[in-house]
Every structure is written in C-alpha cells, then in structure tokens.
Amino acid sequence: MPHVLILGSGFAALTAARALRKRGVTAEITLVSPRDTLHYLPSTIWIPAGLRTGEGLKLPLANFFARHKLRHIKASVTTMSGANRSVTLDTGAVLRADHIVIATGGRFLRKLPGIENAIIPCEGIDAAERITAGLQKLEGGTIAIGMAANPAEPGAIRGGPMFEYLFILDTLLRRQGRREKFELVFFSPSKRPGQRLGEKAVDGVLAAMARRGISTHLGHKMVRIAPDKVVTEGGEIAADLILFQPGMTGLQWFEGTDLPLSPGKMIEGDALCRVPGFEGIWVAGDAGSYPGPEWLPKQAHQADLQAQAVAANIAAALAGKPPRTEFVPELICIMDSLDKGMIVFRRGNINLVLPAMRPLHWLKRAFETHYLRAFR
C-alpha cells in the first residue's frame, strides 16, 4: 500500500489528510507532529476580551484521526532527505514514504535586539494569555502594537491579527470605561502597513485608527525593543505593554535538508505545491514560498487551498495520472473589532472591501463553529 507522510497537525496538514480521504485515497497516511490537538489560532484574538479561553481553542484530534484512518506519531522532525524521501525524528526513528507533505508551518524572526521584551501574538495560545494577563495588570499607560516583514522576503508576514488586536483592545477598554487612561500606538517600518490587503483596505484601517484616537509611528526602521519602549530610527515609543509581530521564516531544520529554500528560508514550492526537483515532495501553508501575486497571504485560508491542491495532485499521482491542480491564490479575512468586522477579499483582479458591520463579527464567529465541526 502506498504511504503518504504529512508533517504537521495544523490547518494545511489536517486539510491535506481530510482531502485525500475525500478523494477516495486508500493509502496509509501518517501524520507527524509534537501534539495531537488542533490549536485554533484565528480566535485567540478574543481571549483578552473573555470571548474565548485558551483551553477552549485546543481541540483533541483522536476522533478525527480515527474517523479518517490516520496514524499519528507524536514527535518532532529534526531533518529530512528529499532525495531519499525520508524524515528523521527526534525519537531517532527514520520514516520513508511515497509522498511527503511538508505542512509544519513557519516561525517568526527573532533577530531584532530585545524582541523577548515583546509578545508575539501569533506564536500561539500562550501568547494571547500573556496579553490578557499583561492588560489586567495595567491601570493605565501605553500599549504599543506593531508589525514588520522579513526583509529577505517581504511577503512573509502575517499582519492582519495585529490590526484586530489593536481594534479589539480599543473596544474592550471602552467597554470597561477606562480607554481614556490608555494610549494606543501602532508602529511599523512600512509607511502604509497592510498593503497586501489592498490600498482601499489600508485607507480604511488608517482612517479607523484616526477615528479611535490611536496614534501611529510609521515608516521608521526598527532598532530594538526595550522592556519599556520601542526604539526606531525615527524615535522612541514609551510603552507599558508591547505586542509585535515580526516577519516569518522557515523552521530551523529546513536549513539542514537538501530542499531548495527561498530568500526568506522557506521551502520553495511551485504552482502545484511541488518542491522543484524532488518528485513526491510537497509543501503547503506557511512552511512554503510560492509563485503568485505580491499580495499572496500567509493565512489559514490560503494554507487550506494549498493543501487541497496537494491532495488533488497526490491522488492523481497515485492513480498514475500527471498532477495538474494549481492552488488558488486567494485572500479572505474578516478583520474583527469585537463588536464589528470588516471583510477583505482578493482573488485575481478582484479586491473587495466591505466597511465594518456588526453582522460580520457574528459571521466570523459562525465560521469558527462551522470550520471546527469537521475536527470535533
């Protein structure tokens, strides 16, 4: 029986496994990851407001694995050989497969001096809980929220959640009746942060900041982060709580493989999510760097679309047919502010932006329920 090995247990990995079974693939499918739970990170933005808890966003996957006849190995990858189609684990085991899907996600750059003084929100549930604890300790002061890209690969950025944290904290503090005790400052080396959302969306975000009385510090290269301030070439921002999202890069073990890497140290993938030069090796989600429009996003929805393309192509290969399915470049997000949501959609030449509306907040919550139903 053919063997498909999937590295990871996040959005891209689980979607690839599910899509393979939906296509009737009967191969043995093994998932390797350090945990057997899905952490639904898109909803961590609501943890500070008490709409979600960290434990509530951790979904055990035992039923999902059993339902789709998946074998899970709880371990971490230390290296792999594309030429041999083999993966070495931290347990010492070496796994080989007919097809390997790299869906491990990426990591955030930590090269900026003093970055340990900031909370990186998208690093996980623990980060959101630290934000909650930090906010509860403050009676007033300045909260600095910012983001930056990977200089070697500007598209390797996940900035949308930072806008959400900014607007959600503003709304939350107003509900608590203590907004006047806080100054919110948004900072970024870019003069117009969030450009992958489209110019109209950037205009809307900046206008929303102005309406809410949020200060901005834009267009200045970052120098370092101190415990009580953000230092840039254009000045300093005194802060009592700092949230910062740096650019993304690949996992450390990528650099010890024979696989081609992008300038940002992610694994190169083509339009079919194949790793060039290595038959049977695929990449999906944040682990990879792909061809496409300059706004190609790093987000769960795009990871799902790439994983679906991978599943279609593996199914074709196992049936003796040439892989032909290209992933769809598509950006869709509902930028939440706790009581409203602004939707942004990009596909091809279409760039749709709808203004913040209350129903869109509830739509985002409804989507969470719908999406997670498949994994419960």
Tens of pLDDT, residues 318-359 = 999 999 999 999 999 999 999 999 999 999 999 999 999 999
* pLDDT (0 to 100) of residue 159: 86
Q: Is the pLDDT of residue 4 over 90?
A: yes
Comparing 254 with 374, which gets the higher pLDDT?
A: 254
Q: Which residues of 98-129 are buried (b: 16+ CB within 10 A; e: fewer)?
A: bbbbbbbbbbbbeebebbebbbbbbeebebbb
**What's the pLDDT tens digit per position in 190-200?**
999 998 999 99
Tokens read off for 124: 């996980």
Q: Tell me which residue of 137, 194, 164, 142 sits closest to 51, measured CA to CA.
A: 164
**Average pLDDT value for residue range 276-299:** 96
- Per-residue confidence band for 119, with pLDDT thresholds at 50, 70 and 90: very high
Coil, helix or strand at residue 136: helix
Mean pLDDT (whole number) for 167-189: 98
* pLDDT value of residue 376: 85
CA dihedral 44, 46, 52, 53 (to 10 degrees): 50
3-state secondary structure of 58: strand
Spatial neighbors of 319 by CB under 8 A, at least 6 apart, are none
Task: List domains and CATH numbers for the chain.
Answer: 3-106+250-318 (3.50.50.60), 118-247 (3.50.50.60)
Q: What is the pLDDT of residue 147?
A: 96
Indicate whether 233 pLDDT > 90: yes
Average confidence (pLDDT) over 29-43: 96
Per-residue pLDDT tens digits for 128-156: 999 999 999 999 999 999 999 999 999 89
**DSSP notation for 161-201:** HHHHHHHHHHHHHHHTT-GGGEEEEEEESSSSTTGGG-HHH
Contacts of 143 (CB under 8 A, 6+ apart): 135, 169, 182, 183, 184, 185, 239, 240, 241, 242, 243
- 73-82, 149-158, 244-253: least confident range: 149-158
pLDDT score at 265: 97
* Per-residue pLDDT at 292 exceeds 90: yes
pLDDT level of residue 279 (50, 70, 90 thresholds): very high
Mean pLDDT of 30-34: 97
Res 75 pLDDT > 90: yes
For the chain, what is the mean pLDDT? 96
Looking at residue 50, its pLDDT comes to 96
Mean pLDDT of 254-279: 97
DSSP assignment of 295-347 equals: T---SHHHHHHHHHHHHHHHHHHHTT----PPPPP-EEEEEE-SS-EEEEEEE
- Residue 52: which pLDDT band, with cuts at 50, 70 and 90? very high
**Could you tell me what percent of the chain has a pLDDT over 90?**
97
What is the per-residue pLDDT for 203? 95
* Structure tokens given for 355: 């203004």
| Residue 78 pLDDT | 97
